[in-house]
Amino acid sequence: MLYAIALKNIELNNLGNRVKLLNAGLGSSDQYLCADYEAPSGYLPFKPGKDCVVKVRIYSLESLVKEFALDKAILKIDCEGCEYDVFKKDLDPKILRRFDQTIVEYHNGPEPIITILRDAGFETRIIPIRSGCVPISKQGYIFALQE
């Protein structure tokens, strides 16, 4: 449903020639996962398996950059915890440099992600999220620009 709303928003704002919307996920590796639409949490959890109604493609950051020939792009990640899988230690800095800006929501501390971004040549800034259910010190946004 959110994908359909986002497509309509792109159409209404005449951005079809500038925005490519993917109905997919981002993770540490390329794979297909089952989406669990029956989960009561309000989130859409994914699980491995072959017997499912809806399969969702999961891209690694490397394959996303290569498949769509991204350059001077903007990366925004809000994936409820998978940010640490996406920004893994062996992530090639050349992949990150294909993005001019990166905005990452984090949940369990920014340090591992900040280290990877800075090593790739980004200047970083942390912006806290005000949330009643998550301590401010544990959640926020990392805003990064290439130096």
Phi then psi for residue 134, to 5 deg, are: -130, 130
Number of structural domains in the chain: 1
Within its chain, how far is the Cα of 82 from the centroid? 8
DSSP 31-72: EEEEE-TT-TTSS--EE--S--S-EEEEEEHHHHHHHTT--S
Could you tell me the residue range of the domain that residue 20 belongs to?
Answer: 2-146
What single-letter DSSP state applies at residue 117? Answer: H
Question: Global pTM?
Answer: 0.76
Per-residue pLDDT of the chain (147 residues; tens, 9 = 90+): 678 999 999 999 999 998 888 888 888 899 988 876 665 555 566 666 667 777 889 999 999 999 999 999 999 888 777 889 899 888 999 999 999 999 998 888 888 999 999 999 999 998 877 655 554 445 677 777 877
